[in-house]
Amino acid sequence: MRPGISFLFLLLLAVPSLAAAQEGRAAAQRAESLHAAGRPWHAAETLLAAATREPHQNAAFIVQSARAELRARRYDRARSLLAGQPWLDDYGDGEALAILAEAEAHLGASAAAAAHFVAARARASGPPPSPPSPSPRAALLAVRAGLAFEAAGAPDSAARYYAAARAGGGGAAGGLATIDAWLRLRQARVTSDTAVVNRLLADLPPKVAREAPAARARALLAAGDSAAALERLSSTGHLLDAARLALALHDTARARAALYDLIGRAPESDDAAAGEALASGGLPPRLPAERVALARTLRLHGDVTAARVQVARAVGQGDSTAATLVLYGEVLAAAGRLSDAERAYRAATGDSALGPLALYRRARVLLRLGDPGATEALSAFAQTYPADTAAPTALYLVGDLLEGRGDWTGAGRWFGALLSRYPADLRASNARFRLAARATEEGRPDSAARLYQAEVDASGPQRNAARFWLGRLARERGDAAKAQELWTALAHEDSIGYYGLRARREVALAPLRIADAPTAPVPPVVAAELGALDTLILAGLDTEAQAEVRWVLLHPPQETDALLVWSARLAEAGWGPAGVRLGWLTVARNPNDPRALRAIFPWPDRAAVEAEAQEFGVDPLLFVAIVRQESVFDLEALSAAGARGLAQLLPGTAARTARSLDVTYYPEWITVADLNLHLGAAHLADLLRRYGGRVEAAVAAYNAGPIPVARWLARPGADDPDRFIELIPYPETRGYVRAVLRNRELYRALYAAASPNN
């Protein structure tokens, strides 16, 4: 026992008032149920509320509360509950120490985390025989200690604990044998003895061996051979690490070369995004080419203002190339400086390669400015460059502009030119639907029908939509038999598409039901691979777990059962997009396997989604349809607009919704799964109330915001849900609404017990 703590003190600490004990037990049971249902934030809130009502809780309750806070990613709270507790070192088998260490590691207190992981491992090993008997938990804690030591800059200690993890957990009983190759790689990274490094990196499996060059470079660094490490990092393509090391060695020329080579080659990469910090710190751009490369990276990662500043400086330094001027136009337009963007594009129009693009972009800017010359600029571009992929869009925009001015005669002329020149183009398809809607409004159903039929005959991208509207027109003419024929055929031929499902409802076919196929058996090889993935996650080796997932995507199994098992497991573990990708591969190989549809439309967070939907009176099938469309169940999903998490909430929307619910909220909590779902369900419920329960309007507002939806609802015919959807002018939002409503019906078909039919 720790010196200075009496047995009587511990006994008194563990026996609070009877009321506190009862309250604590009840709260603990509720919290465990909530956690099991995938609601860690709710579990943490439940325990926090109990502690607020009765602060004198026993040690077990405090530890459970800290664990709940850790699961909810509220690391400060987890640490504050445990740090300094007099019973911490003596509690159980080191669980409290491990929770504290994990919280400290996430908060960047690596040295403290390492010390607490070491102490937790000692407790988990049990009373010392000599040497301590190995246990799976002790081995996992050794890995985590190694990670913390590595983060703290103590490579020798890190190497010692990675070796201890391998020795204590490498056998079958220990359970770490499946990740031994990854542990060898980790140990090699922090080992200074090159002979040992060579032994550790010998005979690695291919998925691990691809990381060996970087490990050798880091081993050279641990051995003190910085020059050789730098050379190795550069030659193996680890340019961000090379730049950081060169900067630490005060070799700014080498650092600059590595950094700007990286962002020039792959501006969209995560490494390039991380390199922005170096550029804004010790390696600011100097040459125009460096400024342009940095600007591209900044723009791709959302910082348009900084990108504009860098391009402006490059232009100021004399870079007047067309590529730079076009980029300048892009960032100026994105910043709303349209007149300046127009001038930048105009200056690039004389270039033989990029001139057409500059002309087109300039015309688009003139359109946004409301300049009368926009029509002439767009039409001239379409006439001059008819083979350019933007020519159909230019014709469409002229028609759209004239329609907006009320000039339907002029709009019809340009839409007609688009239809005759590019009949199968998506813009031609949109033009047909605009003209057909106008014909319907003017009481010319035969003209509308001819346009819809032309879409079908041209095999246009919206041919199924055209078939649906042909059925509508037939019914409105009183030809119910024809409508029934068209819709029945569409329902069968497009059985899982939006219009096929919509047609099914019109002809009163039985709701689509997809039989629940037996769960795919787990092949032994796949079971071992999944076990390795689970162990990597338990050990905190997140980078290695991601590498395992990438390897599976690059080398998918050939057997259907293996694909389906991997798909389901990845979705459950938060890698939804990867799981769905394997599901689509299953469809490509076995198009008639009904299990593949569940792989494409999984429901990994079902209990949490249903609970949040029920709390706010939202159809869970609609809510999961939105989550599937927004994030594909990627816990860390981030959109170009900055929306985060499963329900893809913008930070401002999340904060406003939290305030309306009187929920304590910090921006770093936005990707906590059930809190994100909680706020997302509340936001959806608010939109449904705002639009009187009109699902299509609420879904449109979820994507585009309420301001444009209010405008669209004010148009003639918007009270008809089908017409409202068809006439949404934003292609992304129009497709989004269709996709969500289709998803809802597919989730109903696949998971019929999830909610009542509505």
pLDDT band at residue 755, thresholds of 50, 70 and 90? very low
> Are residues 540 and 685 part of one domain?
no
pLDDT of residue 592: 77
Least Cα distance to 595 among 636, 618, 565 occurs for 565
**Which of these is catalytic: 45, 403, 630, 726?**
630
User: Does the structure show a pLDDT above 50 at 570?
Assistant: yes
Residue 511 has pLDDT above 60, yes or no: yes
Residues forming a β-bridge with 638: 644
Q: In the 8-state DSSP scheme, what is residue 754? A: G
Say yes or no to pLDDT of 545 above 50: yes
Do the domain assignments include residue 270? no
Please give the angle made by the CA atoms of 35, 540 and 677, to the nearest 5 degrees: 35
Q: Which two tokens stand for residue 753?
A: 């017990």
- Average pLDDT of the chain to the nearest whole number: 90
Residues 611 and 620: beta-carbon distance below 8 Å: no
Q: Which amino acid is at 349?
A: T
Q: Is residue 536 part of a domain?
A: yes
Separation CA 386–CA 391 (nearest Å)? 6
CATH of the domain at 542: 1.25.40
**What's the confidence (pLDDT) of residue 135?**
77
Whether 187 and 134 map to the same domain: the answer is yes
Taking only the tens place, the pLDDT of each residue in 90-130 is 998 999 999 999 999 999 999 999 999 999 999 988 766 54
* Residues 82 and 102 placed together within one structural domain of the fold: yes
Short-list 747, 546, 514, CA closest to 628 = 747
What residue ranges in 482-627 does DSSP mark as E strands? none
Distance CA 567, CA 564 (A): 5
Count the Cβ atoms, other than its own, within 10 Å of residue 559: 14
Q: Which amino acid appears at position 558 of this protein?
A: Q
Say what the pTM is. Answer: 0.87
| Residue 413: pLDDT over 80 | yes
Same domain membership, residue 669 and residue 572: no
Considering its fold, how many domains does the chain have in total?
Answer: 3
Active site includes 630? yes
Residue 714 belongs to a domain: yes
Q: Which of 585, 600, 615 is the last residue of a domain?
A: 600
Q: Identify the weakest region by mean pLDDT among 13-22, 400-409, 564-573.
A: 13-22
* Most distant CA atoms of the chain, gap in Å: 94
pLDDT > 90 in the chain, percent: 73
| Tokens read off for 540 | 């905190």
- Kindly report, residue by residue over 607-649, the tens digit of the pLDDT: 999 999 999 999 999 999 999 999 999 999 988 788 999 999 9
Q: Are residues 558 and 617 in the same domain?
A: no
At 349 the pLDDT is 94
**Other CB atoms closer than 10 Å to residue 324's CB: what's the count?**
20
pLDDT tens by residue, 720-741? 999 999 989 888 999 999 999 9
How far is residue 21's CA from residue 556's CA, in Å, rounded to a whole number?
A: 52
438 lies in some domain: no
Report the half-sphere exposure of 345 (CA within 13 A, side-chain side). 23
pLDDT category, 590, cuts 50, 70, 90?
A: confident
pLDDT of residue 758 exceeding 50, the answer is no
CATH code (residue 115)? 1.25.40.10
> What percentage of the chain carries pLDDT values higher than 70?
94
Say what the pLDDT of residue 214 is.
85
Three-state SS at 589: helix
Question: Measured between alpha carbons, how far is 297 from 290 in angstroms, rounded to an integer?
Answer: 11
* One domain for residues 80 and 28: yes
- More confident position, 265 or 21: 265
- DSSP label of 729: S
Structure tokens at 39: 């609601």
- 221 in any annotated domain: no
pLDDT recorded at residue 19: 59
Secondary structure tally for the chain: helices H, strands E: 43, 0
pLDDT of 757: 43
Inter-axis angle of helices 445-457 and 463-476, nearest 10: 150
* Alpha helices by DSSP H, 190-251: 194-200, 206-209, 212-222, 226-235, 239-248
What is the Cα–Cα distance from 635 to 638, expressed in whole angstroms?
9
Q: Please say which residue of 147, 173, 200 terminates a domain.
A: 200
Chain segment 133-174, per-residue pLDDT in tens? 557 899 999 999 999 999 999 999 999 999 999 987 544 334
Dist. CA 169–CA 147, nearest whole Å? 16
**CB 82 within 8 Å of CB 66:** yes
Residues 552 and 674 placed together within one structural domain of the fold: no
Per residue, what are the HEC states of 348-362? Answer: HCCCCCCHHHHHHHH
293 within some domain = no
Whether residues 618 and 724 fall in one domain = yes
Which residue range forms the structural domain that includes residue 189? 7-200
State which of 42-56, 71-85, 394-408 shows the largest mean pLDDT: 71-85
For residues 214-241, average pLDDT: 87
Residue 594 sits in the same domain as residue 660: no
User: Coil, strand, or helix at residue 683?
Assistant: helix
For residues 643 and 694, membership in a common domain is answered with yes
Residues 663 and 627 grouped into a single domain: yes
Q: Which amino acid is it at 650?
A: L
Domain boundary among 600, 619, 637: 600
The answer to whether position 214 is within a domain reads no
- Whether residues 579 and 620 share a domain: the answer is no
Six-digit token string for 555: 């080398």
| Residues facing 634 on adjacent strands | 575
CATH number at residue 719: 1.10.530.10
In angstroms, the CA 444 to CA 510 distance is: 34
384 found inside a domain:
no
